Amino acid sequence: MTVRVPAKLNLQLAVGPPRADGYHDLVTVFHAISLFDQVTVEPAGRDRVTVTGEGADRVPADQDNLSLRAISALRAALEDRGTGPGSVHVTIAKRIPVAAGLAGGSADAAAALVACNELWATGLSQQQLGAIGATVGSDVAFALLGGTAVGRGRGEQLTPALAPATRYHWVLAFADGQLSTPAVYATLDRLRAAHAVEPAGPADPGLPALPEPDLDSALMSALRSGDATRVGQRLSNDLQPAAVSLFPALRKTLTAGLELGALGALVAGSGPTCAFLAANAERALELAVSLSGAGVCRSVARVSGPVPGAAVLAAG
Nearest distance in Å: CB 51, ligand C5P: 18
If one asks whether residue 242 binds ligand C5P (CB under 6 A), the answer comes out as no
Residue 284, C-beta contacts closer than 8 angstroms, at least 6 positions apart: 169, 170, 171, 278, 302
**For residues 5 and 307, what is the distance between their CA atoms, to the nearest angstrom?**
10
Nearest distance in Å: CB 151, ligand C5P: 9
Q: Are strands 274-278 and 299-305 parallel, antiparallel or unpaired?
A: unpaired
**Cβ–Cβ contacts within 10 Å for residue 1, how many?**
21
Identified catalytic residue from 8, 37, 108, 238: 8
Q: Active site includes 139?
A: yes
Kindly write down the DSSP assignment for every residue of 132-200, as one continuous string. Answer: HHTTT-TTHHHHHHBSEEEEEETTTEEEE----SPPEEEEEEE-SS---HHHHHHHHHHHHHHHPPPPS
Contact between residue 314 and residue 3 where contact means Cβ atoms under 8 Å apart: no
152 or 251: whose CB is closer to ligand C5P? 152
Identified catalytic residue from 37, 108, 139, 216: 139
Interaction residues for ligand C5P, span 55-84 (CB under 6 A): none
Nearest distance in Å: CB 30, ligand C5P: 12
Interaction residues for ligand C5P, span 172-211 (CB under 6 A): 181-182, 185
Q: Active site includes 8?
A: yes
If one asks whether residue 155 binds ligand C5P (CB under 6 A), the answer comes out as yes
85 or 177: whose CB is closer to ligand C5P? 177
Q: Are strands 264-267 and 311-314 parallel, antiparallel or unpaired?
A: unpaired
**For residues 231 and 224, what is the distance between their CA atoms, to the nearest angstrom?**
10
Nearest distance in Å: CB 153, ligand C5P: 7
Nearest distance in Å: CB 76, ligand C5P: 18
Nearest distance in Å: CB 22, ligand C5P: 6
If one asks whether residue 97 binds ligand C5P (CB under 6 A), the answer comes out as no
- Residue 103's nearest CA partner among 192, 35, 197 is 35
- Listed ranges 41-49, 73-81, 137-145, 231-239: which one lies at the site for ligand C5P (CB under 6 A): 137-145
x/- site string to ligand C5P, residues 19 to 48, per CB under 6 A?
---xxx-x----------------------
- Listed ranges 134-142, 161-169, 276-284, 293-301: which one lies at the site for ligand C5P (CB under 6 A): 134-142
| Residue of 4, 31, 75, 154 interacting with ligand C5P (CB under 6 A) | 154
Amino acid at the residue 129 = L
- Listed ranges 18-26, 51-59, 87-95, 301-309: which one lies at the site for ligand C5P (CB under 6 A): 18-26
If one asks whether residue 138 binds ligand C5P (CB under 6 A), the answer comes out as yes
At 210 the three-state DSSP class reads: coil
Q: How many residues bind ligand C5P (CB under 6 A)?
A: 13
| Residue of 97, 130, 133, 137 interacting with ligand C5P (CB under 6 A) | 137
Residue 313, C-beta contacts closer than 8 angstroms, at least 6 positions apart: 2, 3, 4, 38
At 5 the three-state DSSP class reads: strand
Residue 148, C-beta contacts closer than 8 angstroms, at least 6 positions apart: 11, 29, 30, 31, 32, 160, 161, 163, 223, 305, 306
Nearest distance in Å: CB 181, ligand C5P: 4
Phi-psi region of 177 (alpha: psi -120 to 50; beta: other; left: phi over 0): left
Binding site for ligand C5P (CB under 6 A): 22-24, 26, 106, 137-139, 154-155, 181-182, 185
Residues noted as catalytic? 8, 139
